[in-house]
Structure 1
Amino acid sequence: MTPLTADTDPLLDLPKLHEAMNLLFGPRVEDAAEYICKVDPKRQRLYTAHGFAAMKCMNAFLTFERKDLLDALQAFQHDLEVINRYRKPSLLANRLAGMFLSVYSTTGRRWIRSMTVVELHAELAYAEALFANALVALACASSWTVFFKEAFHMMTGFKIYMALGKFVEEMDAQFAIHSEGSEDPSIDVHFRSGICFGVGIANLILSLIPSKLRSIVKAWDCKADRRVALDLLAKPGGWSEDHDQPSVEAEVEGFRRSFCDMSLGLFHMAFPSVVHNGVDIKVARKIVEWNVRRFPDSFFASGTAGRLHVCQVRPSDAIRCFKEMIERAGEFYTVRHMSNWEIALANLSLWDIEESKKSWKYLVTEATWSRATYVYGYAVCLLESGDVEEATKQLDSIPQLAAKSIPQEISRRLGSLPGASVPYDTAFELARFQKFAQRKAQKFKSQARRLMLPGLELAYINLALMRAPPAILAGTMLPLIRRARNKLKGYFDRPDWYENGRGYWDDLCLACFLEGVCASYVAYSNPDAHPENNDETHITREAAEALATDAFECAIANGKKIEVDHYLLYHAYFEYARLLSHQNKETEARCHLNLILSGKSLEASPSARKGKYSMQTALKLRARGALTKLDQGKPL
């Protein structure tokens, strides 16, 4: 009998691929691809070709360079060719018949049950390759044709995931009938981890799409159940709410477990202010702390730890982690840019303007995604430092930089297509900060080189204010706002005398709004907050509540007189709703949130504002998430 080898049985490569995946999360990401090439230089086996393509995909999204994206597409093209040699052959007639008769479907129960173990692994790899290749292709997309083509491929991959998931469920159910166990041991742990990752990530992505598109998802026989998604992503690691440690040890895990952990942790930490349903920072903390111990030298571990500290209102610890991430990033410049962005915002949370300015300056010099946004952040820090001349030079360059930015180019390409209209403050808010920066630069110029509290406003827009320690909010930020309000108070009855008659009501509403936000977070900090030491405040909760209430009511009462910054009125309703929810005034909170979502103009006249207000899409997402959280009986 001929002995089994990796050439005759590709599943023998699984332990080596597992080892390569661990290298991927180690100190040198490139070591993983080199290891695969040593195992199979020509990459002609199922899991060597598949693993190499996955690593190229990871590399492409870490650099976001067009060359790396094209390399990833080429790797997936080779991967799909190899995978198809291992998949169960199907006749064209059967594929056509399967479109009308489920018994002939290549994703049907009968078809999948007839597969060998190798063919099942190949089918799973095929779904993964379709999904990952579609993500890379969409990053390069420049037309609706490419977009729809890759969306079709992605949905095909999701449908295969769902079919394989049903197969595993049925096998486990049959096994449970005849034995005490709950999982069929004939299904290996690597295949199971792939099913959990695939079905979980498909459900998670589809649960985040707008409800209007759900009918299309149902037509593909795909679910969009977020609870199912989170449970499946937690399963390969054995994570639960009841235990701090996972029940699955690293020695017996499936090789896709790390991807499940990373996806689960990022969901909990990336969406807490937008998507409340399912988000649990406590679960994220368990996953992050365990993976940091497992991969202590990985920049992935440093980055996720930094993100966790941001969510826990620990900006000093977050800065330390992101600096470690920069040191370990090597040639991945995109990772450095992301880390400097986080450091800039964390320093705003600490109100360390000089340190924040250094990060913004680095982004202005090195990063290319949205230069206008980085220039505005740098200019704001210059203004807060008193360097008006240099700030003016920077702000004057914003319109030209915005026209050449990547988000603007994406908007231009999509907007030039027939029937397309994609303003760049929508579509996942690709350039929401850029649009905001342009408006503020224009306002600075029209107001004779003056902006009211620009640093605090920038911190709020980027969610850094809600992640500021209470001691900083009460001891540093509120006194700054109080000085501004004292100045504004003298012009309330004669606004035409204020700064040559320019921008009084905008400035008043901004100061009141920021005071309300700071005071409300002193009274009721972020529910996931674990502030750093020495974070006591001299303001009682009752005093902070009263201050926030008065400030929000002032902003809302005078919001109809705003001339430029219309977003303030809508955000004031949202932040006031948050405060009301903590005061057990749920009915009033819901009323404010529903006003935001109603689409009605809250200004004195519908013609007072042209188009959308700044951050409109993001605010509506947050308002929908807030209503969901109220439905669950939780304060915002």
Structure 2
Amino acid sequence: MSVGMSPKMDLETALKGCSTALGFFLNNRFADALALLKPWRNQSMYHAMGYSSILLMQAGMTFDPHDIDAAMASLRESLQTCQRFQQCHKPLKSDLDGRLKEMHAELCYAEVLLQKAFLTFLDESIIGFIKGGMKIRNSYQIYKDCQALANVTKDTEKQKSTHIHFRGGVNMGIGSFNLMLSLLPSRVLRLMEFLGFSGDREVGLSELREGAASNSLRSILSTLTLLIYGTHFLPSGTGEGNLTEAEALLEPYKEKFPNGALILFYTARIALLKGNITFAQEKFLACIAAQEEWRQIHHLCSWELMWAYSFELNWREAYRYADILCKESKWSQAVYVFQKAAILSMLPEEEVTELGEDVVELFRQVDGLRLRIAGKSIPTEKFAAKKAQRYSSSNPVKLAVPALEMLYVWNGFTVVGKRPDLTESILTILEKAEEQLRDDPDPSEYHVDDQCVVQLLKGLCLRQLGRLVQAESCFNHVISRCGHLNTLIVLNIFLDIIVYMAFRSINGKYKIDSKI
């Protein structure tokens, strides 16, 4: 008999067993969690969903065809298991236990269908993209039906211990849909709303917060969704992220799972965003040391450590983690190789030679490593390939400050700005690059591009240091040359400049050419 399970597989027993498996998972006992769930996956909708969810995460981390096939097969079986308990649009059963099972089956079916949709997107074709979209729409509609059921649930049903898990699942599903859709561009969001979706950010956050506080089986999923939003999406551009809320959400899990890899990762991530770089590095390393079973979690930490050491201008250590990603991770080889080359570009040539690396050759590899999803390029990979293009000729033209430019692209200046000492060090590098460009006797076709990159980054540093008049001069330089830019992300430039102008309360002074 499996750990934590009794011979009778009723709904309450299934939920308790899955809670035990969740505890195993959060304590890095991934194989134990799978072993507990596997024997019951054809008899319990929750065991089926939990088992396939773990396989899905594994497939998403490895991109290994075998793992993807295993996850897809498990998801199909999970849908079949859920369907056996569904009421299939007939009137709900009159007996309480039967009615509750049907409600939970609908909820689990929606969740598994959504997972299957995401896995379908890994099929890099337009057909896979369309199929995934249809599954997402069906999943969303079922979540809406479940929300309606939750709102009309009778008092006798609410008194059952299983109701909190149903309500928590609805919170997680409706909240995640609203939050994710609200992040889409307004034009796309209007189309999605026309198709019946809802993208209300405040509704999404409210539902997720309720779910995170519910002490249900899916509370951790609502919590993780809020953590991802608060530490990966909000800090982008000029936002700071609600780190206070993120810390509060994480606190109970830190007490219960102090060595859990996911908990350590987000402890480190929050510290990094607050500018506590040394502490963040320690926690990322602790996360790596916490488990060996899922090495892909190591890759998440390696990505963060690469940036943490880049913030400190410790290029040798940053290179070390970029090299690990290039050798071990399959997520985005184009970005990894570009980042590795960019970091090496910041080192003296003798050090690069000592490491046995060829920067030009690395940049030349980038374009051939790009992935395509539904026939479309990934924007960050497209940007990296465009930047690396100048190395493709027989006389390559070096990028001015590639690692610092990527620091900007990945919103690293939000973190660096919290450390005046690091900001000053970066400013010194930029002033040296500015001087070299100014004194260049034979400017290349990329000269204006490079000058604008340096001036933009210099302006950001000066703004963070409170030297606003000088920052304004740098931004004016970029504005005056923006019509000549080749590859810089012009919209991001103007976002930073507009925010700066708002900060300075300068109204009407700048007029941006409509041709840009």
TM range (shorter): 0.7 to 0.9
Alignment CA distance shift 1:557-1:317 (3 Å): same
Q: Check 1:31–1:444 CA distance in 2 against 1; reply closer, same or farther (3 A cut).
A: farther
**TM-score for both structures, normalised by structure 2:** 0.87
Tell me what 1:127 maps to: 110
Aligned to 1:574: 495
Structure 1 residue 446 corresponds to structure 2 residue 377:
no
Aligned letter for 1:483?
A: K
1:275, CA displacement in angstroms? 8.4
Superposed counterparts of 1:344-363, under 5 Å: 344-363=306-325
- Paired with 1:12 and 1:285, the residues of 2 have a C-alpha distance of 32
Check if 1:285 corresponds to 2:247. Answer: yes
Given the alignment of the two structures, is residue 393 of structure 1 paired with residue 358 of structure 2, yes or no?
yes
Q: Partner letter of residue 160 of structure 1?
A: I
Match of 1:631 in 2: none
Q: 1:136 aligns with which of 114, 119, 126?
A: 119
Distance 1:463 1:275 in 2: 6
Match of 1:367 in 2: 329
Match of 2:458 among 515, 518, 527: 515
The answer to whether the Cα contact below 8 Å between 1:269 and 1:284 also exists between their aligned partners in 2 is yes
- Residue 533 of structure 1 corresponds to none
The match for 1:471 is 420
**Cα–Cα, structure 1 residues 440 and 299, in superposed 2: closer, same or farther, change >3 Å?**
farther
* Residue of structure 2 equivalent to 1:552: 475
State percent identity of aligned pairs: 20
- Report the Cα distance in structure 2 between the residues aligned to 1:326 and 1:135, rounded to whole angstroms: 27
Task: Specify the SS of the correspondent of 1:585.
Answer: coil
Contact kept, 8 Å, 2:456 with 2:475, in 1: the verdict is: yes
**Do the aligned residues in 2 keep the contact of 1:73 with 1:133 (CA within 8 Å)?**
yes
Does 2:36 align with 1:35? yes
SS at match of 1:431: helix
Alignment of 1:462-611 (within 5 A): 462-468=410-416, 469-489=418-438, 491=439, 498-499=441-442, 503-523=446-466, 544-562=467-485, 564-567=486-489, 570-585=491-506, 601-602=515-516
State how 1:146-165 maps to structure 2 within 5 Å. 146-165=128-147
Report the Cα distance in structure 2 between the residues aligned to 1:220 and 1:508, rounded to whole angstroms: 45
* Counterparts of 1:158 and 1:484, CA distance in 2: 51
1:132/1:454 CA distance change after superposition, 3 Å:
closer
CA deviation after TM superposition for structure 1 residue 196, in Å: 0.9
Point out where structure 2 has 5 or more consecutive residues left out of the alignment: 1-5
Q: Which secondary structure does the structure 2 equivalent of 1:368 belong to?
A: coil
Find the residue that maps to 1:499 and give its secondary structure.
coil
Shift of 1:75: 1.1
Residue aligned with 1:466, SS: helix
Deviation at 1:355, TM superposition (A): 1.2
Cα distance between partner residues in 2 of 1:60 and 1:70:
8
Q: Is the 8 A contact 1:346 1:464 kept in 2?
A: no
Q: CA RMSD in A?
A: 3.2
AA partner of residue 109 (structure 2): Y
What residue is the counterpart of 2:273 in the other structure?
311
Instruction: Describe the shift of the 1:15–1:474 C-alpha distance in structure 2 as closer, same or farther (beyond 3 A).
Output: closer
Question: What per-residue deviation string (whole Å, max 9, x for no partner) do you get for residues 364-412 of structure 1?
Answer: 3223333333233222333322117749833224334532x2x43x25x
Distance 1:352 1:199 in 2: 43
1:548 to 1:130, Cα distance in 2 relative to 1, 3 A: same
| Corresponding residue of 1:63 | 62
1:112–1:576 CA distance, 2 compared to 1 (3 A): farther
- Check whether the contact 1:375–1:394 (CA below 8 A) recurs between aligned residues: no
Structure 1 contact 46–82 (Cα < 8 Å) conserved:
yes
Q: Give 1:353 shift.
A: 1.3
Q: For the Cα contact (< 8 Å) 1:350–1:472, is it kept in 2? A: no
d(CA) in 2 for partners of 1:53, 1:392 = 41
| Larger radius of gyration between Structure 1 and Structure 2 | 1
Q: Could you tell me how far 1:43 is from its partner in structure 2?
A: 3.6
Counterpart of 2:159?
Answer: 185
Map 1:64-463 to 2 at 5 A.
64-90=63-89, 116-139=99-122, 141-171=123-153, 184-186=158-160, 188-214=163-189, 217-218=192-193, 221-238=196-213, 253-274=215-236, 280-387=242-349, 390=353, 393-403=358-368, 405=369, 407-408=370-371, 410=372, 414-415=374-375, 422=376, 424-425=377-378, 429=379, 431-442=381-392, 445-447=395-397, 450-463=398-411
The answer to whether the 8 Å contact 2:41/2:51 transfers is no
User: How high is the TM-score relative to the length of structure 1?
Assistant: 0.72
CA distance in structure 2 between the partners assigned to 1:41 and 1:15 by the alignment: 13
Deviates more, 1:363-372 or 1:385-394: 385-394
Residue of structure 2 in register with 1:634 after alignment: none
* DSSP 3-state at the match of 1:119: helix
Label 1:386 to 1:112 Cα distance change in 2 as closer, same or farther (>3 A): farther
**Mind listing any 5+ residue stretches in structure 1 that lack a counterpart?**
91-105, 239-247, 416-421, 492-496, 524-543, 603-636
C-alpha deviations, 1:83-106, integer Å up to 9, x for none? 12111145xxxxxxxxxxxxxxx6
CA separation of 1:165/1:279 partners in 2, compared to 1, >3 Å: closer, same or farther? farther
Deviation at 1:443, TM superposition (A): 8.1
Structure 1 pair 399/14, CA: closer, same or farther in 2 (3 Å)?
A: same
For residues 190 and 448 of structure 2, the distance between their equivalents in structure 1, rounded to whole angstroms, comes to 45
Amino acid at match of 2:111: E
SS class of match (1:171): coil
**Are the aligned partners of 1:473 and 1:522 in contact in 2 as well (CA < 8 Å)?**
no
* Change over 3 Å in CA distance of 1:446–1:216 after alignment to 2: closer
Q: Deviation digits for residues 273-319 of structure 1, max 9, x if unmatched? A: 44889963321121123322221111101111222123222322222
The alpha-carbon distance between structure 1 residues 9 and 322, as it changes in their structure 2 partners (threshold 3 A), is same
Deviation at 1:159, TM superposition (A): 0.6
Name the count of aligned residue pairs: 504
- Compared CA separation, residues 394 and 77, structure 1 to 2 (3 A): same
Query: Secondary structure, in 3 states, of the residue corresponding to 2:346?
Result: helix
> d(CA) in 2 for partners of 1:314 and 1:197?
31
Q: Secondary structure at the match of 1:236?
A: helix
| CA distance in structure 2 between the aligned counterparts of 1:561 and 1:236, rounded to whole angstroms | 50
C-alpha distance 486-191 of structure 1, shift in aligned 2 (>3 A): same
